[in-house]
Amino acid sequence: MRTNIHIQAEDFDVADEIEALGGDDIGAVASFIGLVRGGGGLEAMTLEHYPGMTEREIGRIAGEARERWALDGVTIIHRVGRLRAGERIVLVAVAAAHRAAAFEACQFLMDYLKTRAPFWKTEERGGETAWVEARDTDDTAAERWCRR
């Protein structure tokens, strides 16, 4: 089982990453791509993180996913730095023998990434920069996995 975790400023190639997860025993690859949502005058976001803890925390979340589902590979790429509206922020891709495990693990990883991985972002609108506040709905999304 391969787990690839990358925190980087550069963009990533979605097709290459999904291709890299393929293999003879794999029946499904599910992926999620998060983008900088424009609108409301949003020009760009700048993401910072806690180097060291970020990789550890994402590794721990990936380990938990591996315990819950039969997975063959996990790739998580999260970008940092300044990203303009429309740019990719995050990729979560999961390979498994069957689609249910791939879909569920992908959503689980994303829900936990949003509430546990130490990233913070500012938004730029009309020359003003403001910190993004955490949302309760993200906590609710992560908590539903505790009831299983």
| Interacting residues toward another protein by CB under 8 A | 34, 47-50, 52-53, 56-57, 78, 89-90, 110, 113-121, 131-134, 138
Closer residue to another protein in complex, CB, 66/121: 121
DSSP code of 2?
E
Of residues 72 and 142, the one with the C-beta less far from another protein: 142
Which amino acid belongs to residue 117?
A
Nearer to another protein, 56 or 98 (CB): 56
CB 47 to another protein: min, Å: 7
Shortest distance, position 27 Cβ to another protein, whole Å: 27
Beta bridge partners of 90: 34, 78
Least CB distance from residue 30 to another protein, whole Å? 16
Concatenating the DSSP letter of every residue in 26-80 gives: --EEEEEEEE----TTEEEEEEEE-TTHHHHHHHHHHHHHHHHS-EEEEEEEEE-
**Least distance to another protein, CB of residue 58, Å:** 10
Structure tokens that stand for 13 in this block: 């190639």
Helix (H) or strand (E) segment spanning residue 99: helix 99-116
DSSP state of 86: T
Rg (alpha carbons) of the chain, rounded to whole number: 16
**Toward another protein, which CB reaches closer, 57 or 72?**
57
Closer residue to another protein (CB): 100 or 120: 120
Distance in Å, CB of 124 to another protein, minimum: 15
